[in-house]
Structure 1
Amino acid sequence: MILYHGSKKIVESPEIRIAKYNKDFYFGFYCTLLPEQAIRWATRFDGTGYLNEYLYTPNEHLNVKIFPEMTEEWLDFIVSCRLGHSHTYDIVEGPMADDTIFNYVQNFVDGKISRAAFWELAKFKRPTHQISFHTARALTALSFVKGVEVRDEE
């Protein structure tokens, strides 16, 4: 399976970086099945970046959590991760809380909207995908293929 990672540089050797803010599935190396989504990640700040392509080879010995769609379990998992709670998975895959969904998640976490209101707002958003690698062992499932410069065409 081919996965994509959008970045400001070519990333031949992926690594897990601890960032200022917790992400949907906690700290990890994030990829997607959707090249257009990775291009948005790569170009979001100044209109240029790199689309990195990897061959992903699943490993049955890794602890993998897959969320096929946005569910109550998915929402609770994201809220927990965004609150800074780690997990024991090597890899987590599922829908992404994009900028708009993130705002809804944050409003839910802050008690500004109810769970029901979150789902009402979230149901009209376009499908997204993310797969995150959380351990060094998980990163061995990725093999770098290539990186190409991309530009935001909007």
Structure 2
Amino acid sequence: MNKIVYHGSVSVIEKPEYGKGSRQNDYGRGFYCTESLELAKEWACAKNTDGYANKYELDLSGLKVLNLNAPEYSILNWLAVLAKNRTYWQRSSISEEAKRYLQQYFYIDTTKYDLILGYRADDSYFSFAQDFAANAISLEKLSEAMHLGRLGEQIVLISKRAFTSIRFLAAEEVLSAEYFPKKSARDKEARLQYRRSKRTGADVNEIFMLDIMREGMKHGDSRLR
């Protein structure tokens, strides 16, 4: 099975290299792509500089894929992976205990896979996740927030095998004058919708991080579906 994917960058990348990138990205070191050309163009101009939307063909045949948005996983598995890789974490007792709990009961060992599919956590979305860890919003509110701004999924190549399965097709120049405002507007709209959602308050049956820890909920718990 082949898939067309894009990578936004300040440069043309004809041959993605295994072992490059920051360990502190959402899913650790890897090559981050999207199926959306428009999102790749926004990522290319993330720092308000011109860039390129690199286009690739990805052959999924034989690759072991961790799909964090699959039914057998919950948003807590995604958050546990995020907490493992992101260095910044709120310095409150609840947040730090939440991080330990997520790591113990929801973390998925990503080293067993070639490819990861999951939400993209830019600064806005990471702040939503931090609010949940601090018990400020419910699990239901966090799940809603992850769809604000329509960031969609990102596809991350993490193994040597995965890097042999991607083929460069073309690169399109992207102008920051057009796409940086689009990225800023998407982020602004997501934050605005999130603030509106927080103001609606929580239902008595919604689940908070403290509930998860107090009730000893773990991966696969039916109450988290």
Paired amino acid for 1:43? C
Equivalent residue for 1:25, pick from 17, 24, 27? 27
Higher normalized contact order (CA 8 Å, seq sep 6+, divided by chain length): 1
Matches within 5 A, 1:5-154: 5-15=7-17, 16-19=19-22, 22-60=24-62, 62-68=63-69, 71-82=75-86, 87-88=110-111, 89-108=113-132, 111=134, 113=136, 116=139, 119=142, 122-123=145-146, 125-127=148-150, 128-152=152-176, 153=178, 154=181
TM-score between the two structures when normalised by the length of structure 1:
0.82
Asked whether the equivalents of residues 22 and 83 of structure 1 are also in contact (C-alpha less than 8 Å), the reply is yes
Name whichever structure is richer in strand by fraction.
1
- Quick one: structure 1 residues 58 and 123, their matched pair in 2 at CA, closer, same or farther if it must change by over 3 Å? closer
CA RMSD of aligned residues (A): 2.7
Asked whether the equivalents of residues 9 and 51 of structure 2 are also in contact (C-alpha less than 8 Å), the reply is yes
Q: Tell me the distance in 2 between the aligned counterparts of 1:95 and 1:123.
A: 8
Asked whether the equivalents of residues 75 and 143 of structure 2 are also in contact (C-alpha less than 8 Å), the reply is no
Q: Equivalent residue of 1:39, what SS?
A: helix
Q: Tell me the distance in 1 between the aligned counterparts of 2:77 and 2:147.
A: 19
Q: Note the C-alpha offset of 1:24.
A: 1.3
Q: Which sections of structure 2, spanning at least 5 residues, go unmatched?
A: 89-102, 104-108, 182-225
Q: Tell me the distance in 2 between the aligned counterparts of 1:129 and 1:120.
A: 14
Q: Tell me the distance in 2 between the aligned counterparts of 1:123 and 1:32.
A: 16
Q: Equivalent residue of 1:44, what SS?
A: coil
Q: Tell me the distance in 2 between the aligned counterparts of 1:149 and 1:72.
A: 37
Q: Tell me the distance in 2 between the aligned counterparts of 1:66 and 1:31.
A: 14
Q: Note the C-alpha offset of 1:63.
A: 2.4
Q: Tell me the distance in 1 between the aligned counterparts of 2:49 and 2:168.
A: 23
Partner of 2:200 in structure 1? none
Identity level (%): 31
Asked whether the equivalents of residues 34 and 129 of structure 1 are also in contact (C-alpha less than 8 Å), the reply is no
Asked whether the equivalents of residues 104 and 118 of structure 1 are also in contact (C-alpha less than 8 Å), the reply is no
- Quick one: structure 1 residues 78 and 124, their matched pair in 2 at CA, closer, same or farther if it must change by over 3 Å? same
- Quick one: structure 1 residues 108 and 27, their matched pair in 2 at CA, closer, same or farther if it must change by over 3 Å? farther
TM-score between the two structures when normalised by the length of structure 2:
0.58
Q: Which sections of structure 1, spanning at least 5 residues, go unmatched?
A: none
Q: Equivalent residue of 2:6, what SS?
A: strand
